[in-house]
Amino acid sequence: MSTAPPDPAACPACPDTPPDAQPARTRLLLAALKLFAAHGYDRTSIRAIAAEAQTNVAAVSYYFGDKAALHAALFADPFGSLAALVPDFTRPGLSLRAALQRFFHGALAPLHHGELAQQMVRLYLRQMLEPADQRQPVAEHDVDVSTRAIAALLQRHLKLPAPDDDLQRLACAVSGLAFQVWCQQEMLAAHQPQLLATPQALHCWAERLTDYALAMVAAERRRLRAAAAPAPSPHNPPAP
């Protein structure tokens, strides 16, 4: 899933967009995120987005072309994504701990955006529930690329000759740690707000998730060693 909701300070202008027109485009993106997340694609109209953004319907055509293109823009760069983290956490020479720390810190950083991050989660959850022809390929590609990168990272550190189903399960479990925090952020904000309230709290999450992921990898390493060990001879049973 994409890790960064639209940031009003980071939304770049489209090519040939005058700098003084940039706020209108940003407002459209933020309005679209809010309404698509709350009501879904079909029940959100261009007119409603324009009204929320305090602009006119023609602005959507000018900046994005149509509703579908505006919807797709919410999942595309430059808003950030798990896939965009891949070059950072797969740098050559990183220890497994350092690589996972980079992944979790990057994946959780957008939670600083609070309500925008919650809206982005709702939007992604709707993507999983919408009919296939309404899903954004960018969203599915984002998750696939990051999970495959985690799998390759784990394969290298576990010294596996080739990926297998157990490796895929481990990669999904590791990357899923970050997804769980994203998906539970509204519940945490309501009942345990201190767990997300400060940069230090999010830093602690990333460090703990790194520890949990390393524990999973250690468990898988033990399982692999046990599976590779020769079976005891029936004439020499293992000591109790």
Quick count: other Cβ atoms within 10 Å of Cβ 231? Answer: 6
Q: Which domain does 176 fall in, by range?
A: 82-227
Answer yes or no: do 93 and 207 share one domain.
yes
pTM of the model: 0.73
Answer yes or no: do 61 and 92 share one domain.
no
Stretch among 29-33, 106-110, 119-123 having the lowest mean pLDDT: 119-123
pLDDT, position 234: 66
CATH of the domain at 115: 1.10.357
- The answer on pLDDT for 3 being more than 50 is no
Answer yes or no: do 63 and 121 share one domain.
no
Write out pLDDT tens, residues 174-227.
999 998 998 888 899 889 999 988 999 999 999 999 999 999 999 999 999 999
Question: What is the residue-averaged pLDDT of the chain?
Answer: 83
Answer yes or no: do 66 and 93 share one domain.
no
Is 2 within the bounds of a domain?
no
pLDDT, position 200: 95
Listed in sequence order, the residues at least 6 apart from 43 whose beta carbon sits closer than 8 Å to its beta carbon are none
CA dihedral over 74, 64, 52, 19, signed as positive or negative: positive
Answer yes or no: do 110 and 216 share one domain.
yes
Give dist(CA 195, CA 197) in Å, integer.
6
Answer yes or no: do 98 and 162 share one domain.
yes
- The answer on pLDDT for 20 being more than 90 is no
Is 12 within the bounds of a domain?
no
Task: Count the domains in the chain.
Answer: 2
Answer yes or no: do 132 and 31 share one domain.
no
